[in-house]
Amino acid sequence: MEITWHPYYPVDAGLPHYVANEAPLLKLLVAFAATIAIVVVAVLTVARRIHPKMVTSDQLVVSWFALWYFVWNHRRLAGMQTLFAQLWKEYALSDSRYLTSDPFMLCVESFTVVVLGPLCWAIVVAIARRSHVRHPLQVIMCVGHLYSVVLYYSTSLTELYFNGVSHSRPEFLYFWVYYVGFNAPWVVVPAVILFQSVVRIKNGLQDRHVKAA
């Protein structure tokens, strides 16, 4: 089978529909940052109207959970020229599984769309309405985030070390900045929020136990 040239690893990955990005990276990043800013500002504006006295830490949590991403058109992504498609093709230089319809990635991203995505918005609403279900939902959400990241790294690194198959280009930018660095927030932020929620739940149960005694 003839292999269409592409810059991704492994070099024999089947991407017959691949089309190089039309926009330069800087333009893509600026457009993406602007889009993210609009989303965050819009969500925070609504949340503040519902909860005018929302503290800064809660605003940061709302912003985090508002930033969830729908992955769709996976079979045609490599040939698309939309903003998110071009950004995803750039990131895929660090993990080509996003472009090859890898079964693991499809399962994880489908779970993200169907379960974690709506759950993020449920948490945003819970924070804005000062609902007591906020912290239990955050625990579920953060555990889901952390577990997904563990699977994401472990499946890729297992293929690399046991089968010698790398899905990332070897350059520092793509492996350490894109693959490692860009995913680091999905470990650090959920871990911090998880810790805070566990502490709040523990303190609440202790207070209830003291009052009951």
Give a yes or no: residue 16 inside a domain.
Answer: no
Could you list the residue range(s) of the whole structural domain that residue 113 is in? Answer: 25-206
Does residue 2 lie within any of the structural domains? Answer: no
In a domain, 109, yes or no: yes
Number of domains comprising the chain = 1
175 domain residue, yes or no: yes
Q: What is the pLDDT of residues 109-160, one digit of tens each?
A: 778 777 887 888 888 889 888 898 999 999 999 999 899 899 999 999 899 8
Q: Is 197 exposed, middle or buried (0-12, 13-18, 19+ CB in 10 A)?
A: buried
Per DSSP, the residues of 121-153 read HHHHHHHHTT-TTHHHHHHHHHHHHHHHHHHHH
C-alpha 123/C-alpha 20 separation (Å) is: 38
Q: Is residue 9 part of a domain?
A: no
Query: Rounded to an integer, what is the distance from CA 123 to the centroid of its chain?
Result: 16
Instruction: Tell me, yes or no, whether 114 lies in a domain.
Output: yes
The predicted structure's pLDDT at residue 4: 67
Task: Tell me: pLDDT of 71 over 70.
Answer: no
Sign of CA dihedral 144, 58, 200, 122: negative
Q: What is the pTM of this model?
A: 0.79
Q: What is the pLDDT of residues 167-190, one digit of tens each?
A: 999 999 999 999 999 889 889 999
With respect to residue 184, please indicate whether it lies within any of the assigned structural domains: yes
